[in-house]
Structure 1
Amino acid sequence: MSDRASVTPVDAALPRQIADAYVDELIGHDPITGTLLGVPDGDDRLPDFSPDGQARQAELARTTLKRLTAAEALPGADSSREQRCARLLRERLTARLVMYEAGEGLREINPLDSPLHQIRRVFTVMPARSVRDWVVIGQRLRGVPAALEGYRVALAEGAARGLPAGPRQVASVIGQLTEWIGSGDGGWFAVFVADGPQALRAELAQAAAEATGGLAALRDWLREVYAPAVRGAPDVVGRERYARFARLWMGADLDLAEAYAYGWSEFHQLLADMRAEADRVLPGAAT
């Protein structure tokens, strides 16, 4: 991590310095974000996806918001750059806190982007050129079972609190895990480390086997415990959840009815334009 936060005490920092300090602290909690930002300090670790880990990140967000409020009152905080940074940081942190307080991290199962997918994906963006790079990859691989166990604990707490994931999403993820575990080829992690240096081949194969064991343990728990528990769960989407995710991804509180009305009006206009152009090419054939 950088030493930016140590240059200026956070109680005397302007918004951009508060933002820098937040990123530095966040990377300590979420090494995957560090890897994606090109900060190698935590490349041998994975985040704590458990309820306790989520709570620590939420507390960091709350603390940063308090620091930001104080920073906005300091001389120099009224510049356009500082104000833009403050608005962006506040919006991102409040959006994430809304997700946390709604328990979204306790039901985060989907076939596209979840802690499970983040864990697998981060290995594909790690440096893998030198022996040292592969040593770090092996160290991170050995952390996969613990990271997945933290994720499992979060899902179990969500189910206990009446926050189930959708049964179809659960079934899809079970299928993905079965594919990643593999059969004769040793699974995705085994194939991934096959490109590692010969000198580390045995060590990497063992680390990959441990990671695959973590996948298998999670898959079996989802199939045998979680899926039956959420089978027949009531509608797990709906307007409130949609609004939270729209805010997270769009950075604004949308009028959903207005947004959908606009989308449909654009669709019908586009369809009319397509039919008009088709009629020019082949008169009378447009449907």
Structure 2
Amino acid sequence: MTEPLDVAPQPATTAPKRTPTAVDAVAEHYVARLAELSPQFAVNVGLPGRRGALDDVSPDGYEALADLRTATLCELDGVEPGDDVDRVTVAAMRERLGIEQELADAGEDLRVLNNIDSPVQWVRDLFDIMPTATVGDWEDVASALRDVPRALDGYLVSLGLARDRGLLPAARQVRAVIGQCRDQAEASTSSFEALIAAAATADGVPVGDRLAADLRDAGATAREAYAHTATALERDALPGALEDDAVGAERYERFSRLFLGARVDLDETYEWGRALLADVDAQQRRTAQELYGPGTSVREALERLSADPARTVHGTRALQEWMQATSDEAVAALDGVHFDLPAELRRLECRIAPSQTGGIYYTGPSDDFSRPGRMWWSVPAGTEDFATWQERTTVFHEGVPGHHLQIGLQTWLRGELNSWRRLACWVSGHGEGWALYAERLMADLGFQDDPADRMGMLDSQRLRAARVVLDIGVHLGKERPVELADLPGVGPGRWDAASAWVFLRHQVAMEESFLRFELDRYLGWPGQAPSYSIGQRLWEEARDEARARGEGLKDFHMRALRLGSVGLDVMREALAG
């Protein structure tokens, strides 16, 4: 792997110090208890915990989490905020734990099942970030692999209880998860096998014959558990599953608040999404003609860009090297000019993920920065060519000034923010909204002046705008707008999966397999995909309000990011104070 460059133009900065308060004590106790209840949370954020165990996603496990939330909210009622940091902590914890409990009371934790964010994926993806630097680390990996059957069996119990209560999953999501389980059960497609195959050489650790054999046996046990889960879902969950993908207004409103940390008018937001999509389309039309002359359509420009060898890298090694170089250049250019990066954040590792799902994602640094922030690209099997014009904006989204700056900074603020603020609070509309805001910001700052790169950024923005319209349209059962009804083979009527597919194909020029996965994601994870564009909108509104008060752009960015990831209503109130 190409190592990140030494991009440290500024001297190391010192994290601020603040005397912990009674509010901080409540937050710290919550995080410590959460790390006990959720070994996977502890691994994700780099806290001490049971490295060789997985979460309990049975009804008993969810009840323990509910008890923790209830106790913590009661503790918050008994303490007085000592300063502005405390006031944000109290507001943010009440908002987060409150909406989480609302969803639990409605049975959403028991019934969670979709193609991207449910226990089947939580278990699988944990192994991408488990430590592997020592023999002891690999022993923990083997132990956690052996724990997969218990974890997935507990999940099946939760799904069964949800069914008994009439909380049925969507058939589309059941079928998608069955397919993922079967892929994970097969040695040729299992990410567990890729992990184990690397054990002998990863980080130069000689695992030895006995541990290598133990890892192989543990991997087989984990794969068998996924095979059993596929069979159980096909037998028990699929026959009574719902063919209707829409969740309805009541459930959707709760999910929207979960992902935004804000209340928005969903009808107004739907119409705003339509207008935003039309505006991005107009910008793309102008850019297409700038690239290839008058009369060039957006789709033709995209096809020509994709076929341009000068804008393509071949092979995963070249992709990783390009990602790393692009990230390093951004860090060097932005640090000290548009943002102030602590020394620990000037390092971002770009890696190819062992899985092959097609996703691109970021994992934050460990609490002590012994594990740096990382951008991962999960390359589908057989994919060898990668369009740099399309993905430059993705590096900015996942790296700097996107997720790496945002998540890394809140992790670094150990002396100012308590552990809950730094490690345990993640609001999609805040985090993904910031990353999408960062994409547009990089264009505004001149980093996307090449019209091809700008077309890639606009294509990203177009996808996110289309998701606002599609997601709200389907789940709230809205009438199809004229721009959808007029598409071939659609016509008037309510949004559904079939019309959503035609709409997505019309709006987004991406491979069919990727779009199929994306559509299943929107249908099974309501409210999450729109949080990117809606979050970007709320970030831009907060920036404009700060400018109206006379605050400089850099000062606004650093002040806002120092809050950590909080609900967007909490952020706006804190910034206005």
Q: TM-score range by the shorter chain?
A: 0.7 to 0.9
Aligned partners of 2:108 and 2:198: how far apart in 1?
37
* Contact 1:165/1:236 (<8 A) preserved: no
**In structure 1, what is the equivalent of residue 195 of structure 2?**
192
> What SS does the aligned partner of 1:228 have?
coil
Aligned partners of 1:118 and 1:180: how far apart in 2?
13
Q: CA deviation at 1:218?
A: 0.6
Q: Provide closer, same or farther for how the CA distance between residues 278 and 147 of structure 1 changes in structure 2, counting only shifts above 3 A.
A: closer
Q: Per-residue displacement from partner, 1:175-197 (whole Å, max 9, x unpaired)?
A: 111111115x4843233222222
Aligned partners of 2:124 and 2:114: how far apart in 1?
14
Determine if the alignment matches structure 1 residue 180 to structure 2 residue 184. Answer: yes
Letter in 2 for 1:228: P
Q: Per-residue displacement from partner, 1:97-123 (whole Å, max 9, x unpaired)?
A: 111111111221111111111111111
* Pick aligned residue for 2:29 from 18, 21, 26: 21
**In structure 1, what is the equivalent of residue 253 of structure 2?**
243
Determine if the alignment matches structure 1 residue 221 to structure 2 residue 229. Answer: no
Aligned partners of 2:252 and 2:135: how far apart in 1?
45
Aligned partners of 2:126 and 2:224: how far apart in 1?
18
Identity rate of aligned residues, in percent? Answer: 34
Aligned partners of 2:160 and 2:129: how far apart in 1?
30
Q: Provide closer, same or farther for how the CA distance between residues 228 and 83 of structure 1 changes in structure 2, counting only shifts above 3 A.
A: same
* Contact 1:27/1:33 (<8 A) preserved: yes
Name the one with the larger helix percent. Answer: 1
Q: Per-residue displacement from partner, 1:121-155 (whole Å, max 9, x unpaired)?
A: 11110111211110111111111100000100001
Q: Provide closer, same or farther for how the CA distance between residues 236 and 268 of structure 1 changes in structure 2, counting only shifts above 3 A.
A: closer
Aligned partners of 1:189 and 1:273: how far apart in 2?
44
* Contact 1:164/1:236 (<8 A) preserved: no
Determine if the alignment matches structure 1 residue 64 to structure 2 residue 79. Answer: no
Q: Which runs of 5+ in 2 are unaligned?
A: 1-19, 200-206, 299-577
Letter in 2 for 1:112: I
Determine if the alignment matches structure 1 residue 261 to structure 2 residue 264. Answer: no
**In structure 2, what is the equivalent of residue 47 of structure 1?**
55
Letter in 2 for 1:188: S
Determine if the alignment matches structure 1 residue 153 to structure 2 residue 163. Answer: no
Q: Per-residue displacement from partner, 1:259-287 (whole Å, max 9, x unpaired)?
A: 22222222223334444666788556779
Letter in 1 for 2:40: I
Once the two structures are superposed, the pairs formed by residues 26-37 of structure 1 within 5 Å of their partners are: 26-37=34-45
Q: Provide closer, same or farther for how the CA distance between residues 235 and 111 of structure 1 changes in structure 2, counting only shifts above 3 A.
A: closer
Determine if the alignment matches structure 1 residue 202 to structure 2 residue 213. Answer: yes
Letter in 2 for 1:243: E
Q: How many residues align?
A: 270
Determine if the alignment matches structure 1 residue 103 to structure 2 residue 107. Answer: yes
Q: Provide closer, same or farther for how the CA distance between residues 233 and 284 of structure 1 changes in structure 2, counting only shifts above 3 A.
A: closer
**In structure 1, what is the equivalent of residue 92 of structure 2?**
88
Letter in 1 for 2:138: W
Letter in 1 for 2:191: W
* Pick aligned residue for 2:137 from 133, 140, 156: 133
Q: CA deviation at 1:165?
A: 1.1
> What SS does the aligned partner of 1:71 have?
coil
Aligned partners of 2:142 and 2:296: how far apart in 1?
61
> What SS does the aligned partner of 2:75 have?
helix
Q: Provide closer, same or farther for how the CA distance between residues 87 and 279 of structure 1 changes in structure 2, counting only shifts above 3 A.
A: same
Q: Provide closer, same or farther for how the CA distance between residues 46 and 283 of structure 1 changes in structure 2, counting only shifts above 3 A.
A: closer
Letter in 2 for 1:48: D
Q: CA deviation at 1:160?
A: 1.3
Q: CA deviation at 1:88?
A: 1.1
Q: Per-residue displacement from partner, 1:212-257 (whole Å, max 9, x unpaired)?
A: 1111111100112211121x45555222222222111111122111
Letter in 2 for 1:258: E
* Contact 1:182/1:188 (<8 A) preserved: no
Aligned partners of 1:194 and 1:267: how far apart in 2?
45
Q: Provide closer, same or farther for how the CA distance between residues 277 and 222 of structure 1 changes in structure 2, counting only shifts above 3 A.
A: closer
Aligned partners of 1:135 and 1:273: how far apart in 2?
53
Aligned partners of 2:122 and 2:157: how far apart in 1?
17
Give the superposed CA RMSD. Answer: 2.2
Letter in 1 for 2:110: L
Letter in 1 for 2:192: F
TM-score w.r.t. the length of structure 1 is 0.87
Aligned partners of 2:190 and 2:282: how far apart in 1?
49
Q: Per-residue displacement from partner, 1:15-46 (whole Å, max 9, x unpaired)?
A: 22211110110111111111111013221111
Q: Provide closer, same or farther for how the CA distance between residues 25 and 271 of structure 1 changes in structure 2, counting only shifts above 3 A.
A: same
Q: Which runs of 5+ in 1 are unaligned?
A: 1-7
* Contact 1:186/1:209 (<8 A) preserved: no
* Pick aligned residue for 1:113 from 114, 117, 122: 117
Q: Provide closer, same or farther for how the CA distance between residues 186 and 236 of structure 1 changes in structure 2, counting only shifts above 3 A.
A: closer
